[in-house]
Amino acid sequence: ALDLHKDTVKVIFTGSSQEGLRRMFSLAKAPFFHFGQNLPFPELDRHFTDHLIKVFYTATKRKLDNDELWEIFQEMQKIPQLVRALVERIALNPTLSLEEAKTQLLADVFNDRAFANSWEQCSALERLLLHEIATGSSTLFAMHTRSRLAKTLGISSLSVPSVQSALRILQRKELIGQYAERNGYYIDDPNFKNWLTQTTSV
């Protein structure tokens, strides 16, 4: 149907998994192979949180603090779904403050058993690499990084092929993705990234 009406119907595919979207259009056996192209969306700015506050006021006739919601949005890594869920929670629970609603929401996210299961199914090296990626490391193959990881693992050395193999496994598990032109990796689910940095240690 989309092919037949492509001159009049324009489609935008979005999702929480950048790697999953990439595969939809890049794998030869995928149903949308070469159907479209991947374009990164810019991060939402303060206009988004101000809009949420206006919608909240229209629905509830109650006011929220613009500055506080914008600050929370930034603390949540600018994940739209999270801050939208936060405002919805306050709409349904009038006695909650923004800070209380944030604490409850993040607790719900961090207690998600799916994240814990994913973590538990990873090897020690995979967990270390997940932490490196979540904290923004771009030197996964560098000698100093591999030496540090090897020391943590209690081994004499860690080879580049070993790191590459572990990264490929994490990609197959759909936990990480790779930026275009192979210039680094990212945690595929931003909620999982928050879970990693807030609730785990290696």
Q: Give the Cα-Cα-Cα angle 192, 193, 197 (nearest 5 degrees).
A: 115
Sequence-distant (6+) residues with CB within 8 A of 162 are 125
For the stretch 99-145, pLDDT in tens is: 999 989 888 877 767 888 899 999 999 999 999 999 888 899 999 99
Give me the pLDDT at residue 181, please: 64
For the stretch 7-53, pLDDT in tens is: 898 888 877 677 777 777 777 777 777 777 777 778 899 999 999 99
Q: What is the DSSP string of 62-89?
A: ----HHHHHHHHHHTTT-HHHHHHHHHH
Give me the pLDDT at residue 184, please: 87
For the stretch 48-57, pLDDT in tens is: 999 999 999 9
Give me the pLDDT at residue 202, please: 64
Find the mean pLDDT for residues 151-155: 95
Rounded Cα distance, 119 and 116, in Å: 5
Give the pair of three-digit tokens for residue 46: 């303060």
Q: What pLDDT band is residue 160 in, cutting at 50, 70 and 90?
A: very high
**Dihedral angle computed from the Cα positions of residues 110, 116, 118 and 122, in that order, rounded to the nearest 10 degrees:** 120
Answer for the pair 170, 54: CB distance below 8 angstroms, yes or no: no
